[in-house]
Structure 1
Amino acid sequence: MSQGDLTRRGLLLAGGAVAAGAAVNLLPGVAFGAPAGGTSQQTKTVTGTFPPSISDWFYIPVEVPKGVSRIDVSYSYDKPTVPAGTRGNACDIGMFGPEGIQLGNTRGFRGWSGGFRTSFSISASEATPGYLPGPIKPGTWHVILGPYTVAPQGLNYQVQITLTFGPEGKPFKPNPAPTTAPAKQRGKAWYRGDCHLHTVHSDGRRTPEQLVADARTAGLDFMVSTDHNTSSSQLQWGDEATDDLLILNGEEVTTRSGHWPAIGLPAGTWIDWRYRASDPKDFQRFVDQVHKVGGLVTAAHPFANCFGCTYEFAYEVADLVEIWNGPWTADDQQTVDHWDGLLRSGRWIPAIGDSDAHNPDQIVALPHTVVLADSLRQKDLLAGLKAGRSWLAESSTVNLTFTASAGTKTAGIGERLGVDIGVPVTVTATVGGVPGTTVSILDQLGVEHSETVPDSGAATVSWTTDPRYSRWVRCEVRRPSGGINTNEPNAMVAMTNPIFLGKS
């Protein structure tokens, strides 16, 4: 079955499948009937071509009759050679059920694998990672195709859909992660966590079991699962939970205008991603959805050098900025510079650092965020992150405290020291586990004071200022020779959010 002419078929109303006034790109669909006697499967194939100038999302309607127990989908597309500097073909895939494909329709979403897999299956009992198990209801399903990049020659695709008929298997039973990790509970304390991690439920190579093992080895107290554009792993973390690692749910909302992890979601929460920065009302709608369920929005790797990865949405809408992503690179420095510029202009968005680890050779907790929270519970951890009571570290061997004091008054990271102009303020950083580094204290003018850490890796560095001259102070620890898994000079080892000085 051929795709037909996209110039005629693009932007068709989906006949009740979408909200009134909405439009989608429908491709020619396939319709299945009752199986012929003695057969239990039917297969149909759709082929077509996407030209170079194309929309982001297309839908293949699939009419599913009664009695289907399993849907299998596979796809392929050509990858012609392209000139240097020209983008080749890449196409994502996913699935929506008969509940509809409206923007934000959480009942209709049945899974997403992006470009990571060439096939997937869904049944009542199980599904390919990234997809949601559940009954195969009769009605119009939709395979969604997302032509990520298209070569000048166009993108020729083939989608094969197979239905298996028969009785449904045993229903899938969700097992989300526990809400506590009693072995690590210390009341009000500093807790280490990595808020950006991937598994085989999106484009990661680690199983959930392997990710938990590596997070524990890294010395984390909590981790956030943020697989791309799907909620499937959120329903299964209880299978891998331990009493010494709190697992929080999230989703890396991966749009064509950048990535924004939503962290701290109730298990089974899916956040839509089918919009761009040019659709600010849609973005705000889903930010509001995250906030309504108690989660936080992160601007992820804002200057990452890959198509669709650079954060193009409004920063003021985000709760957090991921200024350090994985081993220290030049784009991390760009993000720190931009974040520092926002801070100097009076727009502070708390900074976090995450490993964004996908594969076993990528180190979990390089870097991670250390947050002061009233307890090791999701609500308290998110409150500490949103308040900026946190600092970033390349590993759990790094320790840091940072305070500002005047007389009997003391303030910590993310807090304000409310003293008058003219009152001397002593800023103190104490570090450990950081040999071969330099500790710097910065304010809105830049680096104000630096000292080299001795071979012991421990030091206490102090500097005195006045609220008249320093509106805020923060601390950086850098290694001139590079960092873990990076040769980038002056690599970050640890960094704090600011302490604000003065009464306003």
Structure 2
Amino acid sequence: MCEDDHGIGRRALFVTGAAAALTLGTVSFASGAFAADGAGQDTRTVRGTLPPGSPDFVYLPVEVPEGVREIRVAYTYDKPSVPAGTPGNALDIGIFDERGTELGGEGFRGWSGGARPEFFVRADDATPGYIPGPVGPGTWYVALGPYTVAPQGLAYEVTVTLAYGDPGETPAPVYPPSRAKGRGRAWYRGDCHLHSWYSDGRRTPAEIAALARAAGLDFINTSEHNTHSSHPHWADQAGDDLLIMLGEEVTTRNGHVVALGTDPGTFVDWRYRARDNRFGRFARRIHRAGGLVVPAHPHATCVGYGWKFGFNDADAVEVWNGPYTPDDEVALAEWDNTLVASVRDGRARWLPAMGNSDAHRDPDAVGTPQTVVLADDLTREAVQEGIRAGRSYVAESKNVSLAFTASGGRGEHAGIGERLRVDRDTPVTVRLRAQGAPRCTIRLVTDQGVLFTSDPLPVSGAGTAEWHTTPAYAAYVRAELRHETAVGPLPGALAAFTNPIFLGGA
């Protein structure tokens, strides 16, 4: 084993696409070298310290000679005590192959963030989060992501081991089908933000699929952090009763976005901030791959979680993420503001809302919440179209069902995500039928705010509310089901909410 020190003094700053990064000195292995013990391995260990204010990404070049079967990387870093309110050390890791680290390039071979202390890549297999394939000769790059750095700095150690021998064969990927049996045009339930052990989750695809079926879901979307490595591992879990779409949670330093329903094998780069003005390029990448752009938990308070890229490129927004919290209440209010802006500016385009579980491990509940979509069939394209059009509502579980409509006096009719096209002074009847929400309160919300609140539903959880208005009084109306409140005048947690019905207009 050889060792080397790579402190901050031995560095070269370079620009890859848009973001400044730090490149350390190269780790070299002798061509065709074998360990002295005859095991066919060679190991190097690198140590260094990153100061506060380090670049977002630090690359450790590794010269890989011919004849390498496997590359294995292990790392550790220190976690000193810090004052309350001060971020401590957190160091992510991944790897790029001999094709390089260019932003949006082809060199990506895997990312585990901070979920694993080591990983391997070879032709026939790889650690979850990484892409199997040949270990070609040339310069590979171990990618370190100093997510947060303590005032004392971040001391790290990286150990790279090369194993020599027969490379083996890379299996051809098999992906889940893009359609399930379906029920024709119907309401389908889905959860589009889920994590397995292919990123920082703890569940297998089989476990997630079983939980999805138990939660009454018709479709799910895979969304591992910054990797598409799970895509070939879902085919065995799909079936006539469960559509499995493929995607990624693109986890940047300025917010996360779910790439929903992309083509199999699509990788979306994440190495940029809002100030780099690069998100539009990767939103287009998602769209070209047949996916939807859905900013996730936009008002979460963890470092790097809050969404700072704006919504011009978004197809929908994740308003409700996991168990309902004050973050979701803020997201709901801010989303409602986007609806007001759309009617104020006379825009036909508006931003639909979604809800997803973001489940990682027990006790996270898959399908809490879930998005219920009116789609023409149970296919990737039909579900995406329903989401994009806002023909959907969000419910806390399979037990909650809504039917929400608006009608005019001459048979005009509109449902969730649609527009009731009547004159501005036409009387409009708004009706919500709810099931599975015992003692919940129905609220109807317009561009003016909450204009109707019902008495609590009976313990059966079923009930109907009716309200009368005009387009002149309410440009849109959406519905909420709220649990009983526990803190004075504050509204209770959501049990469900709908996208709006717009009133009036051409």
Partner of 1:404: 406
- Kept in 1, the 8 Å contact 2:355–2:370? The answer is yes
Partner of 1:418: 421
Partner of 1:295: 291
Partner of 2:312: 316
Segment drifting more, 35-44 vs 126-135? 35-44
Task: Give TM-score, length-normalised by structure 1.
Answer: 0.94
CA 1:319–1:212 in structure 2 vs 1: closer, same or farther (change >3 Å)?
A: same
1:19-418 correspondence runs (5 A): 24-33=21-30, 34-36=32-34, 38-105=38-105, 107-182=106-181, 185-280=182-277, 282-346=278-342, 348-406=350-408, 407-418=410-421
Where 1:340 maps in the other structure, the secondary structure is: helix
Where 2:22 maps in the other structure, the secondary structure is: coil
CA 1:481–1:467 in structure 2 vs 1: closer, same or farther (change >3 Å)?
A: closer
Q: Which amino acid aligns with 2:33?
A: P
Partner of 1:485: none
- How far the C-alpha of 1:82 sits from its partner, in A, is 0.8
CA distance in 2: counterparts of 1:473 and 1:29, whole angstroms: 61
CA distance in 2: counterparts of 1:346 and 1:180, whole angstroms: 33
- Kept in 2, the 8 Å contact 1:2–1:28? The answer is no
CA distance in 2: counterparts of 1:115 and 1:97, whole angstroms: 20
Which deviations, in whole Å up to 9, do the C-alpha atoms of 1:363-401 show, x marking residues without a partner?
011101001111100011101101101000000010101
Query: Do structure 1's residue 476 and structure 2's residue 480 form an aligned pair?
Result: yes
Segment drifting more, 343-352 vs 134-143? 343-352
Match of residue 430, structure 1, among 430, 433, 442: 433
Q: Which amino acid aligns with 1:332?
A: D
CA 1:5–1:170 in structure 2 vs 1: closer, same or farther (change >3 Å)?
A: closer
CA 1:43–1:8 in structure 2 vs 1: closer, same or farther (change >3 Å)?
A: closer
Where 1:214 maps in the other structure, the secondary structure is: helix
Which deviations, in whole Å up to 9, do the C-alpha atoms of 1:260-299 show, x marking residues without a partner?
011111111000000001112x100000111112111111
CA 1:22–1:311 in structure 2 vs 1: closer, same or farther (change >3 Å)?
A: closer
Partner of 1:461: 465
Task: Give TM-score, length-normalised by structure 2.
Answer: 0.94
Gaps of 5+ in 2: 344-349
- Kept in 2, the 8 Å contact 1:3–1:28? The answer is no
- How far the C-alpha of 1:241 sits from its partner, in A, is 2.3
- Kept in 2, the 8 Å contact 1:70–1:165? The answer is yes
Count of residue correspondences? 490
Q: Which amino acid aligns with 2:213?
A: R
- How far the C-alpha of 1:5 sits from its partner, in A, is 5.1
CA distance in 2: counterparts of 1:163 and 1:120, whole angstroms: 12
- How far the C-alpha of 1:253 sits from its partner, in A, is 0.1
What is the aligned-residue RMSD (CA, Å)? 1.6
Where 1:317 maps in the other structure, the secondary structure is: coil
- How far the C-alpha of 1:6 sits from its partner, in A, is 3.0
- Kept in 2, the 8 Å contact 1:253–1:259? The answer is yes
Segment drifting more, 341-350 vs 78-87? 341-350
Q: Which amino acid aligns with 1:156?
A: A
Q: Which amino acid aligns with 1:413?
A: I
Partner of 2:346: none
CA 1:160–1:412 in structure 2 vs 1: closer, same or farther (change >3 Å)?
A: same
